[in-house]
Amino acid sequence: MIHLVLASSSIYRKKQLQQLQLNFSVIAPFIDETPLANETPKQTALRLSIEKARSVGLQHSNTLVIGCDQVASFEGKPLGKPLSHENAVKQLRIMQGKEIIFHSGICLFNAVTGNIQSSVVDIQVKFRSLSDQQIENYLVREQPYDCAGSAKSEGLGVALLDYIRGDDPNALIGLPLIQLVTMLEKEGIKIV
């Protein structure tokens, strides 16, 4: 029987996949995540999701590997994880009152057949206008320094948002579950 693997080091994606009540393993992929020259954020998300799935699948036979990557785009340019309080304050200040697009790439790689299914699910998010005190209050309480856009929509970060628009709200967290269910069904795995 084929074994399902999540090629990710993200605790958020692991929690998301657990929602589907499937048996799976988690293996962190080791790839260079540097965007290529002239690559759009959407192209980066798709390429990296495929590379993550393939890199794990080629090392582990008899697997069906889920690879995913998310790149936030602000005014056409990639917006990374803040990694520090200071950077998160800067990000939230420049994004307030503006729309950000989160490109969530997903790939399902069948290491047995070599079949690859991949796509990108886009989610538009508009941030509210925020005072410096609101930004500070939020960051102290949630510390979203490992999240692109400096906010966790699944947590207190939802209070920073005017709207979320897209076909799969799960994609904003990092794993487009609706798309994944469709991909898994094409590989013969029924969720319900």
* pLDDT digit string, tens, across residues 153-163: 888 999 999 99
CA 90, CA 92: separation in Å to the nearest integer? 6
Supply the residues annotated as catalytic. 69
Residue 35, classified by CB atoms within 10 Å of its CB into exposed (0-12), middle (13-18) or buried (19+), is: middle
pTM reported for the whole predicted model:
0.92
Confidence check: pLDDT of 18 > 90? yes
Residues 6+ apart with CB under 8 A from 135: 89, 92, 93, 96
Average pLDDT of the chain is: 94
Tokens of 92: 């939230």
Confidence check: pLDDT of 21 > 90? yes
Residues 6+ apart with CB under 8 A from 103: 41, 42, 44, 45, 46, 70, 71, 72, 73, 120, 121, 122
pLDDT digits (tens, 9 = 90+) for 35-73: 999 999 999 999 999 999 999 999 999 999 999 999 999
Q: How far from 166 is each of 35, 38, 156, 174, 176, CA to CA, in Å?
A: 24, 26, 20, 13, 11
pLDDT band at 186 (very low <50, low <70, confident <90, very high): very high
pLDDT confidence of residue 154? 85
pLDDT confidence of residue 149? 86
At 148, which helix (H) or strand (E)?
A: none
pLDDT digits (tens, 9 = 90+) for 71-81: 999 998 888 88
Helix pair angle (11-18, 177-186), 10° resolution: 60
CA 84, CA 45: separation in Å to the nearest integer? 23
pLDDT cut 90: percent of the chain above it? 88
Confidence check: pLDDT of 102 > 90? yes
Query: 3-186 belongs to which CATH class?
Result: alpha beta
pLDDT band at 1 (very low <50, low <70, confident <90, very high): confident
Domain boundaries along the sequence of the chain: 3-186
Nearest residue to 66 via CA among 15, 10, 110: 110
CA 26, CA 13: separation in Å to the nearest integer? 10
